[in-house]
Amino acid sequence: MCELRTWRCLSESALVSAPSPSRSPSWHWTGHSGTSPPLLRSKGESTVFRAHTATVRSVHFCSDGQSLVTASDDKTVKVWSTHRQKFLFSLSQHINWVRCAKFSPDGRLIVSASDDKTVKLWDKTSRECVHSYCEHGGFVTCVDFHPSGTCIAAAGMDNTVKLWDVRTRRLLQHYQLHSAAVNGLSFHPSGSYLVTASSDSTLKILDLVEGRLLYTLHGHQGPATTVAFSRTGEYFASGGSDEQVMVWKSNFDVVDYGDAVKVQRRPATPAASSGNLPEVDFPVPPGRGRSQESVQSPLQEPASMPQTLTSTLEHIVGQLDVLTQTVSVLEQRLTLTEDRLKQCLEHQQLAAQGTAP
């Protein structure tokens, strides 16, 4: 029986490092030359769960801190109560190792990724699998919810990244940009960007609103194994098999991310979306899509600007954002239509070859 241990740290604002006995960890920081990461060795309290019968691959807290979900090579996903310190229930429909499991932002859904090549969406209340996404062609290594809770992103050994709408259960976006397995991914808090880490040693930043690759980052001298944005989105960190941890500055966009983080999150439900809801809920921050070379500070509103003019400008900006999102949705639907047409043509060619004498 494998053990799962939770810790309660007695000090705040600490970054704790646990180096191996043989060598010290190596760090890359964006701070001033000569600075080092804060290292705090403090005592804490721990709770041990007799959790799984094989390796535990993933742990994730619900946003309210009341629950913990774990994924294991024993082919199960398990949910625990952190405050009552007890096992709640197990989800057992995967037929191979489960690599990752995450709660939705509102805590009502759970998504899991497995070596059985599926991504499963679970209802926490009913404890049932409400849908299985089977589009991956290899082991699925990582999965996460969009900050709005309406979409999920998954990636795996087939070198692809896929995004689905959890309400319509439709594939929204498909990326095949890496030349090796994708080991990790993370949404920017604004929801407009996704960063991925791959065994091809690169990180890639995707613009989800425009559906395109924004940047390819080279730094690791081997497979990049994990990546995550900070809470505000100002930084993201990556780790790799080269034993390096790299902290990157997210200067691909100049916006007030605080406003994006405070956006009201809609509850994510497994039911199909109603007609008045868009199929893609990627918030569009002002000034998106600018390159690093052309980034400028946001314009400040003059103190003497009339209130009516300010309201008019805000309305125009809002309408432009709506138009941008509409065009993005149309482009995605056109891409899906083209893919389906291509598949139909391929099937017709195969059928013609099969009937040919």
Model confidence at 144, pLDDT cuts 50, 70, 90, reads: very high
Tokens of 135: 């589009």
Residue 278 has pLDDT above 90, yes or no: no
Counting Cβ atoms within 10 Å, is residue 96 exposed (0-12), middle (13-18) or buried (19+)?
Answer: middle
Fold of 56-249: Methylamine Dehydrogenase; Chain H (2.130.10)
pLDDT: which is higher, 312 or 295: 312
Helix (H), strand (E) at residue 314? helix 307-355
Confidence (pLDDT) at 313: 75
Averaged pLDDT of the chain: 76
Share of the chain above pLDDT 70, in %: 68
Q: pLDDT tens across 31-73, in order?
A: 333 444 444 344 556 667 677 888 999 999 999 989 999 999 8
What are the structural domain ranges in the chain?
A: 56-249, 310-344
Instruction: Please tell me the predicted confidence (pLDDT) of residue 295.
Output: 30
Strands 26-28 and 244-249: parallel
Tell which wins on pLDDT, 178 or 299: 178
CA distance 145 to 9: 27
What percentage of the chain exceeds 90 in pLDDT?
A: 51
Residue 284 has pLDDT above 60, yes or no: no
Cβ 97 vs Cβ 121: under 8 Å: no
Q: What is the pLDDT of residue 265?
A: 41
Confidence of residue 16 (pLDDT cuts 50, 70, 90): very low
pLDDT of residue 268: 42
pLDDT one-digit tens code per residue, 175-216: 999 999 999 999 999 999 999 999 999 999 999 999 999 999
Q: Is residue 357 very low, low, confident or very high in pLDDT (cuts 50, 70, 90)?
A: low
Spatial CB neighbours of 200, under 8 Å, sequence gap ≥ 6 = 178, 179, 180, 223
Q: What is the pLDDT averaged over residues 86-111? A: 94
Q: Which of 156-165, 215-224, 321-330 has the lowest mean pLDDT?
A: 321-330
Does 336 score more than 90 pLDDT? no
3-state DSSP of 140-157:
EEEEEECCCCCEEEEEEC
Q: What is the four-CA torsion angle of 204, 209, 212, 216, rounded to 10 degrees?
A: -20
- Local structure of 33: helix, strand or coil: coil
What integer pLDDT is reported at residue 20 of this predicted model? 36
Query: Is 90 exceeded by the pLDDT of residue 76?
Result: yes
Average pLDDT over residues 237-241: 96
